[in-house]
Structure 1
Amino acid sequence: MLNQHDGLESRTRFPPARQIAYGDHPDQVGNLHLPVGEGTWPTVVLIHGGFWKWGWDRTLMTLLAHDLARRGYAVWNIEYRRVGQEGGGWPGTLEDAAAAIDYIAGIDVVDPNRIVTVGHSAGGQLAVWLAARHRLPVGAPGSGPRVRPHAAVSLAGVLDLVRGAVAELGSGACAGLLGGGPDDVPERYATASPSALLPLGIPVLLVHGGRDDIVPSSQSHEYAAAACAAGDTVELVDLPCADHFDVVEADDPAWLAVVERLPALVGNGA
């Protein structure tokens, strides 16, 4: 079944998104949105949030997918197993995100040299983590990437899982994802937390609202400082008047700040 917003596609004159399975589980799927016309497209991998918990799904990002397709990007809006369903959490959620992005290496309309990950909230963690997979030790969930993004974008992302666990963000969501606190399973935090995997070696864009009372903007500020110190190229767009959800509204200045920078982030394919 296509997600609840797919009916909007006909009204925006886009061909229907293709739902494609990248695995055997019903939630190991993504929706591929394409621009009008033929070509090999720069591609955005969209990753929804919801504190990695079952009950939130990729329909949260569908309107952003429409906007990106209109702007000439292929969009791979992915689903993954979440905490609260069989196989979700550690390591399944991470393995699904990795399998989803690797799947598009075989899609001929995707330019493999112009892929950017964009994630919101918990999806921000996954978006930046996907860009850090080459830093993982052999055998770790997600190691050995087939696809390496050209850049990553975090929209109000949870980028330091240790700090997130200590602050009990999302009523203990970080511990829920990893199956324990930082003192219980430190190796899992070292594997899954983007801040523990620096440097990435690619540009990272961070967008965060000053009025965010769900994921504090300190998550982005502290990541930016650590990434810059490690030698990475990082831009932080700090929007004092934005809240946690403004950053995924297609007509909000927060989202416009992303699309303005996307051409530079996807690069020229070289």
Structure 2
Amino acid sequence: MDAAVLDREYNARATTPDVLEILAEYRARTDAAKAVLPWSTHAYGPGEPERLDVYPAASGPAPVLVFIHGGYWRALDAADSGSMAPGFVAAGACVVSVNYSLAPAAGLDRIVDECRRALAWVHGNIARFGGDPSRIHVAGSSAGGHLAAMLMAPGWQAGMGLPARPIAGATLLSGLFDLTPIPHTHINGWMSLDAEGAARNSPALLPLPSGLPVVLAHGDTETAEFKRQTVDFAAALRGAGCAADLVPPRPGSNHFDLVFDFGEPGNPLFEATRRAMGL
């Protein structure tokens, strides 16, 4: 594809005319969750963005859902990322929403490192909140789907004091798994990725885990490239021995409102994740 086509294919906002209203709803639904659930914020590192919100389990030890927000690595916050907490806490989980430093102030290597350190914090501390560190399920939307997939890759865990397999499953909502096109798009205006950095941070190009239950989904109205990224990664995970469940898109769903489907009990995406978590 030439640069103009790539720009169109990776411009998620252009596919969703009401994107700003949906992003505002992220914050409103998170505020509503915080109004009805116990929750607390904790630092996993020295920088202000290095924090996470914990919504404790009603009783434990419970499976843990660790959610990483999207925003093309340059927008949003954990304060926008708790809309799924009421549904999953009611189902018996402990929920954690991860915050991280944003581009362009932070490069992707740093953002990935922060998410790894956040997972290490969860593994070491979540029992205090009713969570079971042996049953951590990572999830994320868009750029957060990419970051959750980076946590699945083997080989980095020992450096964080983690067991070789610190997660028990994942849900990936319209993530980016092969970043090699990104240096050729407008996105690189804030990401500044070279070919090596894109490859180093591409979950599809890294060793894949085996034996994990993984739920994947994309929106109905997304571009062909966003859909391809999810379908191809699901196939690669199956080839590696994972139980990869590609949930069919809800008619009319888009790149951004997948987060609402994810948090809605009875929705196929919520139910697939609930089953993968053993709830």
- Contact kept, 8 Å, 2:73 with 2:103, in 1: the verdict is yes
Q: Tell me, yes or no, if the aligned pair for 1:42 and 1:266 is still in contact at 8 Å.
A: yes
Equivalent pairs counted in the alignment come to: 247
In the alignment, does 2:89 pair up with 1:69? yes
CA separation in 2, counterparts of 1:20 and 1:74?
A: 15
Work out whether 1:51 is the aligned partner of 2:72. Answer: yes
Q: What is the aligned partner in structure 2 of residue 135 from structure 1?
A: 155
Are 1:113 and 2:134 an aligned pair? yes
Using a 3 Å threshold, how does the CA distance of structure 1 residues 97 and 137 change in structure 2: closer, same or farther? Answer: closer
Partners of 2:266 and 2:70 in 1: how far apart? 15
Distance 1:192 1:203 in 2: 22
Out of 151, 174, 178, the residue aligned to residue 160 of structure 1 is 178
Matched, 1:219 2:240: no
CA distance 1:90–1:243, shift in 2 (3 Å): closer
Query: Deviation digits for residues 198-220 of structure 1, max 9, x if unmatched?
Result: 42112221111130249621110
Q: Which amino acid aligns with 1:193?
A: S
CA contact (8 A) 1:136 1:191 kept: no
Q: TM-score, normalised by structure 1?
A: 0.80
- The change in CA–CA distance for 1:232 and 1:10 in structure 2 (over 3 A counts) is closer
On the 8 A contact 2:152/2:209 being kept in 1, the answer is: yes
1:265 paired with 2:276, answer: yes
Q: Secondary structure of the equivalent of 1:264?
A: helix
Secondary structure at 2:245 match in 1: strand
The one-letter amino acid paired with 2:94 is A
CA distance in 1, matches of 2:220, 2:31: 34
Which residue does the alignment assign to 1:94?
112
- How far the C-alpha of 1:193 sits from its partner, in A, is 0.9
Question: Quick one: structure 1 residues 21 and 221, their matched pair in 2 at CA, closer, same or farther if it must change by over 3 Å?
Answer: same
Aligned to 1:194: 203
Alignment of 1:207 with 2:221, yes or no, is no
Residue aligned with 1:75, SS: strand
Q: Structure 1: how far apart are the matches of 2:181 and 2:76?
A: 23
Q: Over aligned residues, Cα RMSD in angstroms?
A: 2.9
**Gap change, CA 1:21 and 1:4, over 3 Å in 2:** farther
Query: C-alpha distance in 2, partners of 1:74/1:47?
Result: 14
- How many angstroms apart in 1 are the aligned matches of 2:132 and 2:61? 6
* Distance in 2, Cα, partners of 1:189 & 1:145: 25
Structure 1 residue 26 and structure 2 residue 48: aligned? yes
Residue 180 of structure 2 aligns to a residue whose secondary structure is: helix
Task: For residue 162 of structure 1, give the secondary structure of its aligned residue in structure 2.
Answer: coil
Alpha-carbon offset, residue 246 of structure 1: 1.9
CA distance in structure 2 between the aligned counterparts of 1:62 and 1:219, rounded to whole angstroms: 25
The superposition leaves residues 105-159 of structure 1 with CA deviations (integer Å, 9 ceiling, x where unpaired) of 2222221111100100000001111111x23598xxx776456211111111111
Higher normalized helix content (fraction of residues) = 2
Gaps of 5+ in 2: 1-26
Larger RCO: 1 or 2 (CA < 8 Å, sep 6+)? 2
Amino acid in the other structure paired with 1:131: M
For the residue of structure 1 that corresponds to 2:248, the secondary structure is strand
Matches within 5 A, 1:228-267: 228-239=238-249, 240-250=251-261, 256-267=267-278
Checking the alignment, whether the CA contact within 8 Å between 2:66 and 2:138 is kept in structure 1 is yes
Paired residues of 1:248 and 1:255 also in contact (CA < 8 A): no
Gaps of 5+ in 1: none
- 1:180 paired with 2:224, answer no
Evaluate the alpha carbon distance shift between residue 99 and residue 163 of structure 1 in structure 2; reply closer, same or farther with a 3 A threshold.
same
Shift of 1:250: 4.7
